[in-house]
Structure 1
Amino acid sequence: MLAISIVVGGVVASLVVNLFLSWYRLRAFPGPLVAATSKLWIIKGVVRKNLHLELKRVCDEYGPFVRVSPNDIVTDDLDHVLAMSAVRSPYRRSEIYSNVKFDFDLDHVFSERDEGRHLELRRKLAAGYSGKENIHLEEAVDEQIQKLVDLIDRKYLSTDGSFKSVEFSRLAQFFTLDVIAQAAFGEAFGFLRRDEDINGYCTVAEQVLPTFEWLSVFPMLNRLIRLPGVRNLFMPRPTDKTGVGMIMGYARTIVAARFSETQEPRTDMLGSFQKHGLTRREAETEATLQIMAGSDTTVTALRSTLLFIITNPVIYAKVQKELSSLYPTPDANSPKYQPVISDLAAQKASYLLACIRESIRLLPPSYAMLQKEVPPQGDMLPDGRFLPGGTRVGTCVYGILHSTAIFGPDASIYRPERWLEDGDKGSSASARSRYRRMTQAADIVFGSGRYQCLGKTVAMLELRKTLATILHRYEITVTNPMNPIVNVPVNGLLLQNNMWVKVATMGRV
């Protein structure tokens, strides 16, 4: 009995000591009590699918640096977020980034934690993503917008005598998948052509996404499922017929064919990657990332912007007035008829561009914390508090984008006008300063510094042209105003569905 008591006492004492040490390390940082000794607080947010809202709430309650797990701090301090990703910052990516590694043994540019290799990958990829060496980029986007328009006209267009509705969230996903494949490889998947979820890719990808949330909470799981003998049971493979594996197989096939060609690399993204020294295996991995990341976030911005516009009559009227003043009425018989609005023309639609920027701010396509790791020597904050080395510091994206200090007292309101008030040359110095600050904050959706999203240029071009074209060509209304869309937050992204709309030619709502 005495021996049992000693053992139990030892276990209890060990637990108490561990709990104390867990709390003591980051004792200078406030936060929910349970977060000091366990990950239960984060787990609760994951289960309830409101972690982004809870992160904002605790930052509002406790201040700009909040402890949310034994070794995790979240911050809504924009200056610190920008500093962590600055070119010469000693902060590094945390192991969270390894969760989205497709290849067992090779990182892509987003998952790579070695700063040297990460910089080298960005150098090889930058020209292709920027469009400088992809001379047919806009042409590729045009081709898919035209296919989207043709599909709507043929199958989903309502007339005076015929009402039809279309689930636009899925149609938009087909579109963005085909766009990125066409732009990257010169060959679309065919989602729009077939108007179906080929091999169930979209469905499977949505089902798999929640898994990454648990891997981010428990990195040990990520290391476990990548062990030989275990990984084949859980990790996607190029031989899979659905989901991420299907995309990997597609990328492998395309890359293999391109690398076997004897002529000069083509003038598309993959050709640019080849020209700058990307190996065949690196190209396969980057292509998979390109398709997944390039479609999932862009499609959220496309859906949300369209929805914000068409559900606000005043804003919708302003967008239509602007587009009508800039471009002639769509008339296929006119010699000036343009089925797809050029990007040069779309960039003149300043109010529409403000709507896009405001949509991305209010409902960001990505708001994962994406923790960075404090350097071994630690970091002293301006207020005198010390961040121990190895601490993970995540970004409260949702909190920054809804900050009243940055965006004003109406930060929670969709108001595109805020992007037109302070940015022009005639504005005062203080107004221009506010605009720069808002821009800095809004752009963190795309990352910053050495971690800025390479696909930003492509995404914004796609959004401008697509929205300008369909909003100029059609009258679009939601068919269920009480529930216009379903948003499900998963792993720092939004899964969206049931966005049913009615589409009619201009003047025929």
Structure 2
Amino acid sequence: MSYLGPELNMENFSWAVLLLVPIYVIVHFVRNYFALRGRDFPGPCLAKFTNFWRLRAVYRGNFEHVLYDLHLKHGDVVRIGPRCLSISNPAAIEGIYGVKTDFKKSDYYNVMQAVENGKIIPTLVTTKEKSGHAALKRPIASAFNMSSMMKYEPFVDDTIVTLVKKLNEKFVVEDLPCEIHKWIQYFAFDVTGELTFSRPFGFLQQGKDVGGQIQSVVQAFVYFGVVGQIPIIDYYLTKHPIINRLMKIKNPYIDAATAKLQERMEESEVIKDNNRQDLVSQFLEAKEKHPGKVTDQELIGYVMTMLIAGSDTSSVGLRAMVYFLAKYPDVQRRLQVELDSVGNLKFPVAWKETQNMPYLDAVIKESLRVHPGGSVIQERVAPETGYQLPDGRFVPAGTIVGIAGWNISRRKEFYGDDVDTFNPDRWLRGATESEELYQIRLGGMKKADMTFSHGPRVCIGKNIALMEAYKLIATIFGLFEVRLENPDKEWTVTSATMMSQSDMDVRFEWRQGHSVIDLGR
């Protein structure tokens, strides 16, 4: 007699497994197919049965183009997973991401969660419930509002000065092409260090990725984008309690955030004497004011958000601005005419000065439209009541829905027929256009803008990112003529979570009448 029972020997058991496994798989796929009434929402055939379709599509590194082509073929709503819909209609933005909605973030964001001793470190990016996000954001919200930007401007100035001096020393004086995609990333990380801890990480000074820190963040975003399509993979790889216990998995970002925070707190008195208020000082102040709401865990979460999300995302946008201005010399010249018209412009250019430069504003908006940071949809989960799409179709509760910036920024009814063209003029009033019509057109474009997300979950660092962009672009192109080393060669874009760029080497030359002396330090 077998220990499996009187009627079941090993041979029969093996046959049972061989029969039951495919039956289970077939039932699973059929349930997936009918979860969204398969015929109502078109999309790739495989995507109706399994999320492996979108995992593979993201892994290939050009998901934004794949998704865009699917929407051109199938319309505003495309099924990209058994229970996942990509939407490209701007009319859906408010209903999904707005203040009054009940949509929460999906399990995609679980993959980004950091776990220590079995507990999740709460961050603004990974907290899924709206109420939890609001509670986390409220104590530090004032640190990121527009009125706080003036406090942070000296940190940005210092980093811009370091960058310009290094560009002069290494590429102007030596007459060499610059791998600008790397130097922009060094800038983005160093300015984050300045803003957060009153100290840069040292990438610009050393001209390299010190300790592989940047590469670590880049690889993390690739992992988030790919594995996030099937979050349960991450759970069993890194977050299952048994796996955690056996493998003794350590999260390097928790360790890095803790170490940086400790260093910064040891220097608190010195930093106070400098009369500068960085973000950590604001976080510590929030901890003092709200001791029950801002614990050590929340503090680490705030710092982690800055270390991971605050740097790589900014560098993508800044690269796009530099690339398009170098690629289109006529646009660059027009921007320089605007900068020169100010008269006695000081460098680095002041944030306040940039607010009266409409063409600079148009260039930055258009760069972020043509090349938005993210390639995947910003996933949300339909509430218990379900969700009615703008076209009237009903989406059942629990369905993942989301909008990708690449798709939404190419809607011809809002942005015109030349949506694939870099054209800053679309953001300006036309010569024969009335103010009323211009405001209507501008309002439509803004309504279709998901650059920094939308609603209560809009990127908390939006104002800081824009200040960095306006100041850096005005300073670089006010001082330098910038041209592509290989103007006939397109840049290389590799996407997972972020659409990261490379192969955009440029040459710098001081504009007539300008030199490093203009920096005044």
TM-score normalised by the chain length of structure 2: 0.86
Give distance in 1, aligned partners of 2:209 and 2:12: 66
Note if 1:109 corresponds to 2:124: yes
1:96 maps onto 2:108 in alignment: yes
Q: Does 1:500 align with 2:505?
A: yes
- Any idea what the Cα deviations from partners look like across 1:223-265, whole Å, max 9, x if unmatched? 2211346348596535xxxxx4674244332455378999999
Are positions 1:62 and 2:68 aligned together?
no
Q: Which residue of 2 aligns with 1:230?
A: 243
The whole-number CA distance in structure 2 between the counterparts of 1:295 and 1:15 is 42
Partner of 1:153: 168
For 2:164, the aligned partner's letter is: V
Check conservation: 1:39, 1:70, Cα contact below 8 A.
yes
Alpha-carbon distance, 1:76 to partner:
0.6
Is the 1:59–1:66 Cα contact (8 Å) retained in structure 2? yes
Does structure 1 residue 251 correspond to structure 2 residue 264?
no
- What is the aligned partner in structure 2 of residue 345 from structure 1? 353
8 A contact 2:55–2:230 mirrored in 1: no
Q: Could you tell me which residue of structure 2 aligns to residue 241 of structure 1? A: none
**Matching of residue 144 in structure 1 with residue 154 in structure 2:** no
Q: Distance in 2 between matches of 1:294 and 1:8?
A: 50
Task: Give 3-state SS (helix, strand or coil) of 1:338's partner.
Answer: coil
1:489 paired residue number = 495
Q: CA deviation at 1:133?
A: 4.5
Partner of 2:484: 478
The percent identity for this pair of structures is 24
Deviation of 1:274 (Å): 2.4
* Corresponding residue for residue 63 of structure 2: 51
Contact 2:55-2:227 at 8 Å conserved across structures: no
Residue identity matched to 1:230: I
**Equivalent position amino acid for 1:226 in 2:** K
Equivalent position to 1:281, from 297, 302, 323: 297
Equivalent residue runs for 1:271-350 within 5 Å: 271-276=281-286, 277=290, 278-328=294-344, 338-350=346-358
Deviations 1:187-231 (A, max 9, x none): 221222222211111223323432222321221122221134634
Code of the aligned partner of 1:98: N
Aligned-partner Cα distance in 2 for 1:91–1:484: 39
Counterparts in 2 of 1:151 and 1:116: CA distance versus 1, 3 Å: same
Residues 445-468 of structure 1: CA distance to partner in whole angstroms, max 9, x if unpaired?
201111101101000010001110
Unaligned runs of 5+ in 2: 1-10, 515-521
Could you say if the C-alpha distance between residues 188 and 236 of structure 1 is closer, same or farther in structure 2, counting changes exceeding 3 Å? farther
1:75-130 CA-to-partner distances (Å, cap 9, x unmatched) read 01212122211112011111111221234322201101132221011112211122
The change in CA–CA distance for 1:383 and 1:502 in structure 2 (over 3 A counts) is closer
> What does residue 204 of structure 1 align with?
216
1:436 aligned partner, one-letter code: G
> Residues 275 and 245 (structure 1 numbering): CA distance in 2 closer, same or farther, change over 3 Å?
closer
CA contact (8 A) 1:133 1:269 kept: no
1:9–1:164 distance in 2 versus 1, CA, 3 Å: closer
SS in 1 for 2:451: helix
Q: Which sections of structure 1, spanning at least 5 residues, go unmatched?
A: 239-243, 329-336
Q: 1:434-445 to 2 correspondence within 5 Å?
A: 434-442=441-449, 444-445=450-451
1:339–1:395 distance in 2 versus 1, CA, 3 Å: same
Q: Deviations over 1:318-374 (max 9, x none)?
A: 11211111234xxxxxxxx72311111122221121011000000112232121001
2:466 paired residue among 460, 465, 486: 460
CA drift at 1:427: 3.0
Compute the displacement of 1:378 (Å).
1.6
What TM-score do the two structures reach when normalised by structure 1? 0.88
Which residue of 1 is the match for residue 386 of structure 2?
378
Of the structure 1 ranges 93-102 and 224-233, higher mean CA displacement relative to structure 2 is found in 224-233
State the alpha-carbon separation in 1 of the partners of residues 190 and 106 from structure 2: 32
**Superposition RMSD on alpha carbons, in Å?**
2.9
Give the total of aligned pairs. Answer: 490
- Aligned partner of 1:391 in structure 2 is 399
Structure 1 partner of 2:372: 364
Gap change, CA 1:268 and 1:134, over 3 Å in 2: farther
Counterpart in the other structure of 2:423: 415
Q: CA deviation at 1:50?
A: 1.7
For the 8 Å contact 1:35–1:41, the answer to whether it is kept is yes
Q: Secondary structure at the match of 2:419?
A: coil
In 1, Cα distance between equivalents of 2:327 and 2:272: 51
